[in-house]
């Protein structure tokens, strides 16, 4: 696995531990976005993209975040923590993408932190603009376009039904019969 591109968006508010957002491209063909670079006790570290875990309201079954006190849909008081399942903040989020082993995690972290430090130096230069803001408009320009052949060289047209006038047939059937039985006159 090779990390072929890293884009960093520095966060200017230093009140929080969040230093930057990051995206990585793996082998020039797979992008993982919204990695976070966070100040830790031992320096910056990379947090994988994650989402808040949700639970369903007992009344309306609408999804709500696990720390919500009331349902966002019906206003019912929620009690997700009744089993004591929310003892730690780690259980509030689930990784969207993450490395399988520590070797891969270290590879990603080392490459991202190195690029983060380079981005910190670049931001000191006049006219600096983050490449992260390009919104990946140029992603894939270096890759040749692949043509995909259709599954069949010449697809056959769908079968045509003979043109029939069902309204005229119904009128003929109804005119000749005065049957009031259930379903009479349908066919």
pLDDT digits (tens, 9 = 90+) for 55-112: 888 889 899 888 888 999 999 998 866 554 445 554 788 888 889 999 999 999 999 9
List strand residue ranges (DSSP E) for the chain, in order.
Answer: 3-10, 18-26, 30-40, 43-47, 50-52, 54-56, 63-65, 93-95
Residue 57: domain span: 51-95
Q: Is 140 a domain residue?
A: yes
Task: Determine phi and psi for 178, rounding to 5 degrees.
Answer: -110, 45
Asked if 52 and 68 count as a contact pair (C-beta separation under 8 A), the reply is no
pLDDT at 71: 92
DSSP state of 77: B
The whole-chain average pLDDT of the chain stands at 78
pLDDT digits (tens, 9 = 90+) for 133-144: 665 555 445 545
The residue among 61, 80, 95 that closes a domain is 95
pLDDT digits (tens, 9 = 90+) for 5-50: 999 998 887 668 899 999 999 999 999 999 999 998 999 999 999 8
| pTM given for the model | 0.59
**What is the domain count for the chain?**
2
């Amino acid at each position: 696995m090779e990390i072929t591109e890293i884009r960093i968006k520095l966060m200017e508010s230093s009140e929080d531990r969040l230093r930057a957002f990051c995206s990585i491209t793996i082998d020039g063909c797979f992008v993982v976005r919204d990695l976070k670079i966070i100040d830790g006790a031992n320096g910056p570290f990379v947090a994988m993209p994650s989402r808040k875990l949700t639970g369903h309201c007992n009344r309306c079954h609408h999804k709500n975040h696990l720390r919500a006190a009331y349902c966002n849909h019906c206003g019912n008081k929620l009690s997700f923590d009744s089993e004591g399942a929310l003892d730690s903040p780690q259980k509030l989020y689930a990784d969207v993408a993450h490395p399988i082993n520590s070797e891969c995690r270290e590879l990603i972290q080392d490459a991202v932190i190195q690029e983060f430090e380079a981005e910190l130096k670049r931001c000191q230069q006049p006219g600096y603009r983050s490449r992260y803001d390009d919104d990946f408009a140029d992603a894939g320009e270096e890759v040749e376009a692949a043509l995909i052949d259709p599954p069949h060289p010449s697809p056959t047209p769908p079968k045509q039904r003979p043109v029939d006038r069902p309204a005229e047939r119904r009128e003929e059937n109804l005119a000749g019969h005065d049957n009031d039985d259930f379903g009479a006159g349908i066919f």
